[in-house]
A and B are shown apart, each in its own frame.
Chain A
């Protein structure tokens, strides 16, 4: 089927819901790394508190985003076959599991809620998300996932 693009199963007004949701946790987890680094450098608790909120918001939005992404993944065989989709999915899920732990570590009191294990997890999550996000962009901008085909089938 030349011209056909992989289809997104869960849509809102015809647009893929996953693409709307997934930037929120990604931004939250990247911001967590930044606030963790600032806390590490300043020991000012405000920054550690910000990290704890960012992690929580990232995880709450992921409660919706991750299942939506999975439905899209299983909803169209053309997506399942894409290497980039698999890397994106596995990367995001791994980042989420690590962030659950990071959230628990951030419930500790004062310095060890961030340094060193919290900060390390925040950094690892951002590296994983870079790879996962790159592959997500490949899905959209190379394979046109969820994009209207130029020729109607």
Chain B
């Protein structure tokens, strides 16, 4: 039996070694324009560390002095993105992705990890409308605005046309101010890359300041081309869609999973937050916030942060890598930014005006969790001008239990910051402590 014991011991030791990786560095070394990029570490067994979902149980997130936070809506079914209509009505998109296919054994494990990290509530696949008639920041009317959508995410209103980005198409609905329900079936403006894989399914949406073009974020169909390069056709890019005809072109490419598309109000430049690739170590690759340049290539899948080659991608494309540009501002690794909003209202203290809030959904492949908060990045002259500051925290409790996870952000008609919390099934509202 000695042989058996030795064999068991050998496997145990080797598996323990397999789980080892470099210790995560301080995320503050990876924020701003020039993040530290450690050497690549490819795991035998990536650390799968997801915060256990415990819910809020009456607690609320934490905000710094001068701000207050209150529940705007609770008991929702996976609220992931928000949009505020001109009359102050708040749209809350209850959504979830399509079921992930299993093409190899790892997918079974990954699907389980995903499930553990999220709320057990079945996503609504609809848009709810909330109205605050008393003006106290707490809505007193609620209705189902548009029902039976297909993994919706982005919403934008241009004139009387309301656009909803389902995971597979941009839909247009007629909207008149004050409407609380849309029953019109809508018209398809254009198809978007959807199934059958649809790995990154959230399609963020915004409109150009003049309203002539729409911009849709179309995430990649894999972490790093493991579903084949053909599956990446028209993906990992931001589409510019002609509002009149529905014709599109790729405005910028090499963006693994772009979300939070917003025009910076001062310079009218398009910005987005990008989820970068996993499984190159706890500190690669930093997710980022960047202005989006017309025609630019940001590296994915061939390279990251400019021209750092990813060895997992074959065949390589040196011609594309030569064109790859580095993004503007790192947010540190695996924070999973999924929402972004520029703050140009006046309710919050002057300190928070002019910059961007970013919702960090939080990491799953890092032994020390990162993200799980809303940060503020100050801007000056249309560019980030300082390190990110934690604004809304408390999503994690006891180190690795999640009460909620922030996703989409919006600024409401009174200047409050709204945060969709898909795991806590709530929308939070942050405003000035004393008006």
| Chain A residues proximal to chain B, CB less than 8 Å | 43-46, 48-49, 52-53, 56, 70, 74, 89, 93, 97, 100-101, 104-105, 107-113, 115
Contact = CB atoms under 8 A, between A and B. Distances in A.
Interface in B246-269: none
Contact of B44 (A48, A104, A111): A104
Which of B106, B227, B228 has most A Cβ within 10 Å?
B106
Contacts of B312: 108-113
Interface stretch (B83-91, B184-192, B217-225): B217-225
Contacts of A104: 18, 44-45
B45 to A, nearest CB: 5
Given A101-B44, A104-B44, A108-B279, A53 B226 contact: no
B233 interface: no
Contact of B226 (A70, A93, A110, A115): A110
23 contacts: A43-B314, A46-B228, A48-B104, A52-B106, A53-B104, A56-B105, A70-B3, A89-B3, A100-B14, A100-B15, A101-B14, A101-B18, A101-B44, A105-B44, A107-B106, A109-B226, A110-B222, A110-B224, A110-B226, A111-B311, A112-B42, A112-B312, A115-B314
A56 B44 CA distance: 15
Interface string B92-122: 0000000000011110010000000000000
B224 A109 contact: yes
Which of B15, B105, B227, B311 has most A Cβ within 10 Å?
B105
B317 to A, nearest CB: 12
Nearest to B106: A107
B314 A111 contact: yes
Contacts of B314: 43, 110-111, 115
Interface in B1-47: 1, 3-4, 7, 10-11, 14-15, 18, 42-46
Interface string B174-210: 0000000000000000000000000000000000000
A110 B279 CA distance: 11
Nearest to A51: B104
A25 B105 CA distance: 17
B315 interface: yes
Given A43-B314, A104-B45, A105-B44, A110 B225 contact: yes
A56 B105 CA distance: 8
A38 to B, nearest CB: 14
B325 interface: no
Nearest to B314: A111
A97 B10 CA distance: 8
Contacts of B104: 48-49, 52-53
Given A108-B42, A110-B314, 11 more contacts: A43-B315, A44-B228, A45-B227, A52-B106, A74-B1, A89-B3, A97-B14, A107-B109, A108-B279, A109-B224, A109-B279
B149 interface: no
B229 to A, nearest CB: 8
A67 to B, nearest CB: 8
B11 A97 contact: yes
Given A45-B228, A100-B11, A101-B44, A109 B222 contact: yes
Contacts of A93: 3, 7
Contacts of B14: 97, 100-101
Nearest to B15: A100
Interface in B302-344: 311-315
A49 B103 CA distance: 7
A65 B225 CA distance: 36
A111 B313 contact: yes
Nearest to A73: B3
Nearest to A90: B3
A45 to B, nearest CB: 5
A108 B224 CA distance: 10
A100 B223 CA distance: 23
Contacts of A45: 225-228
B242 to A, nearest CB: 34
Interface string B125-144: 00000000000000000000
Nearest to B224: A109
A74 B2 CA distance: 11
Nearest to A109: B226
B372 to A, nearest CB: 24
B11 A108 contact: no
B238 to A, nearest CB: 23
A72 to B, nearest CB: 13
Contact of A53 (B10, B42, B105): B105
A112 B3 contact: no
Contacts of B225: 45, 109-110
Contacts of A113: 226, 312
A70 B1 CA distance: 9
B235 to A, nearest CB: 15
Contacts of B10: 97
B7 to A, nearest CB: 6
B57 to A, nearest CB: 36
Contacts of A107: 45-46, 105-106, 109
